[in-house]
Amino acid sequence: MEFLKEYQFPIEVRPVTVPDGIMGSNYQLPTNYKSIIRADTNEVISIVKSSYKLVKNEDLIDILLEELTGLSTPYTIRKTHSFCDNKRMRLEITFPELTMHDENSQLELSLYLHNSYDLSESVRMRWGFFRLICSNGAILGKILAQTYSRHTKGFKIANLKQSLTETYDRIPAIQNRIKHLESAPVTADLMDRVENQVGKKLSKTVFEQNPETQWQMYNALTNYISHIMDQRFRARYQLAIAHAFQL
């Protein structure tokens, strides 16, 4: 997959240095910090404590691909909700044979893999789904657990097959929740929860569409997040609406 090369730029750990003349002659550099450097451009990405365990995108993706190849079900790595910059990356994998549905579209089970070099988040895996009719992405928060690790301890994608099986076993519960949302009317309590989770600006944009059911409101929110919002903020808002709609 050619686009994955964008995620695998060289990264190095180097001592913290200060150019000559910036600090006084008596200044002593801290010994308990190190710098994370993009090696091909020499850009400083972050300064971290010496206990920080660097997990490279390249290594993480290699492990993931090895685990995915060992599964008995097909998978697709989608660019739709994947992104990468110097500081953070997010990779979306969907499983086209592991599906749910609503009244209008098929929903493919999906996995989101996160990593960062700037301490903005831990290495993390979250499950969700991909709505085919509109390419909306969503995270499942309450119904499913998430897997993560702090960089100070390192990370392994431990037994992805077992995690996938356990997630697949929860599909009936997810399907039942979707069915409920399709028929449940929008309530003042839900509107308050949505506004508290995503803020007044986004909630106002969706409320003005006058969705009749909770599922219509949910899809309006995921559509905005998936197609209008900056990639860097999508995961946070996707998780926020998962909490608001108890998904």
Helical axes 200-207 vs 214-227, angle rounded to 10° = 120
* pLDDT, tens digit (0-9, with 9 covering 90-100), for 58-75: 999 998 999 899 899 999
Q: Tell me which of 171-175, 201-205, 208-212 is least confident.
A: 171-175
Q: List, in order, residues 6 or more apart from 135 with CB less than 8 Å away.
A: 80, 226, 227
Q: List, in order, residues 6 or more apart from 203 with CB less than 8 Å away.
A: 191, 194, 195
The whole-angstrom separation of Cα 21 and Cα 11 is 27
Residue 135, pLDDT score: 84
The whole-angstrom separation of Cα 95 and Cα 211 is 29
Residue 163, pLDDT score: 82
162-163-166-169 Cα dihedral, nearest 10 degrees: -110
Count CA atoms within 13 Å of residue 31 on its CB side. Answer: 1
Q: What is the pTM of this model?
A: 0.86
Span 177-201, average pLDDT: 97
Tokens standing for residue 37: 């450097």
Mean pLDDT of the chain: 88
Span 203-229, average pLDDT: 96
In the chain, what percentage of residues exceed pLDDT 90? 63
Domain coordinates of the chain in residue numbers? 2-49, 57-244
* pLDDT, tens digit (0-9, with 9 covering 90-100), for 127-177: 999 998 888 888 887 655 555 455 444 445 657 888 888 888 889 989 999
